[in-house]
Amino acid sequence: MLKYFQEYFDYRTLLPAILLLVIGLGSVYSATYDARLPEIFYRQMTWAAVSLVAALIIAFFPFRFLQTIAYPAYFLSIILLVSVLLIGKTVSGSTSWFSIGAMRLQPAEFAKIATAMALAKYLTHSDVTLKQIRSLLIASGIVLLPFALIMLQPDTGTAIIFIGMFFPVLYWGGASHFTLVSIVAPGVVALAALFGPTPFFLSVLAVGIALYLTRENRIAMAVVFSLTVLVGISVQFIYTGLKPYQQKRIDTFLNPGADPLGAGYNIVQSKVAIGSGGMFGKGFLKGTQTQLNFIPEQWTDFIFCVPGEEFGFVGAATVLGLLTALLARGIIIASSVKTSFSSYLAIALASTIASHVFINVGMSLGLLPVVGVPLPFLSYGGSALLANMIMVGLLMNLHANRKEY
């Protein structure tokens, strides 16, 4: 029995996840302590227990069963995403939730997993190669369909995660450098255009050089370059058509200090909280920004401030170190498994978690706009926590079956 667990039970993936769960529960407890909201902590603790059990169950699922349910799970997730638009509950302007009594479920969280599985399943077909336009378009369609449905809710933050998951899978699957540059270029130029003419022109120049270095067909390069420039030029028109709260988020990202008591308030207070933690922090339940509730609902998207303030640089580095260890396990598993399905799925799951971490920590530090993306394993939210632990269970399953062909 001991030999079996040493060989097949992936404690190196489970241990960082459990430690993050513990840190998350402590952070939620601290963030809600002075706010007199113990029910939030108790709910999160319940979800943590349920999620841990779910991860362990999935870790022992029959490997072939995961492949069999990949497409059905994806189609079910699409049905749920359509249904939530029709009968879902609207929270903070986004129709993203099913309300079942006192419990709320967010289908988009589980759609990430289903999409990762369907994408991995499709890329394993013998006639599929990402160097062909047809295969690339179908793979893109698998990702863009849930992306579009989630944008309709609207939930921009969650939708972006699908793109963050897709790009590393393309790279892992051997997509050409031209394809990768073509996907990244419009986003880079659009972001640069927000900062003014000079960053815009410099980004366009960089894209032109990158496209030239791919040595692709000149007509294809010209088309991609022209479309990229057009995207950059259209940024101002797109910005004008955004809703006021979306414009405020962009303005706050570009200049958080312009409205420190309004749209920029959360970012300013978040940076103060993390910066005031110093090297070792102020101590558990002693963070002034946290305990005096300077950041509204800090237990959700700005939970990273809690370990950053109360345990300082050491606390923040510990959280990031554990998340990095988990992501490293995903890459190691993707490299060690024998089947393409397992390899693609491991990279997709690791990329999904990585996108969450990158965006959430970037938000907390004021480096990225606030788009409502939770920090994996730490932020309050049952659906997100359950989805994260399901991903951990899947990674453990892939490791246990790494010798399967």
DSSP string for 154-215? T-HHHHHHHHHHHHHHHHHTT--HHHHHHHHHHHHHHHHHHT-HHHHHHHHHHHHHHHHHTT
User: 154-211: per-residue pLDDT in tens?
Assistant: 888 899 999 999 999 999 998 888 888 888 898 889 888 887 888 889 999 999 999 9
Which of 377, 270, 266 is closest to 320 using CA atoms?
A: 377
Q: Is the pLDDT of residue 57 over 60?
A: yes
- Cα distances from 380 to residues 40, 42, 61, 179, 337, in angstroms, run 8, 11, 27, 37, 33
375: DSSP letter? P
The answer to whether residue 17 sits within a structural domain is: yes
- Dmax (CA) for the chain in angstroms is 65
Q: Is the pLDDT of residue 43 over 70?
A: yes
Q: What is the C-alpha separation between 73 and 66, in angstroms, rounded? A: 10
Q: How many domains does the chain have?
A: 1
Contact assessment for residue 48 and residue 380, using Cβ atoms and an 8 Å cutoff: no
Predicted confidence at residue 237, as pLDDT, reads 79
Question: Residue 193: is it exposed, middle or buried by C-beta count within 10 angstroms (0-12/13-18/19+)?
Answer: buried
The answer to whether residue 118 sits within a structural domain is: yes
91: DSSP letter? E
The answer to whether residue 388 sits within a structural domain is: yes
Predicted confidence at residue 254, as pLDDT, reads 65
How much is the average pLDDT of 240-266?
Answer: 67
| Stated pTM of the model | 0.91
The answer to whether residue 139 sits within a structural domain is: yes
The answer to whether residue 374 sits within a structural domain is: yes
Q: What is the C-alpha separation between 398 and 382, in angstroms, rounded? A: 24
User: 61-116: per-residue pLDDT in tens?
Assistant: 888 899 999 999 999 999 999 999 998 888 777 888 888 776 788 999 999 999 99
Q: What is the C-alpha separation between 151 and 289, in angstroms, rounded? A: 33
The answer to whether residue 383 sits within a structural domain is: yes
257: DSSP letter? G
The answer to whether residue 405 sits within a structural domain is: no
The answer to whether residue 224 sits within a structural domain is: yes
Containing structural domain, residue 235:
2-400
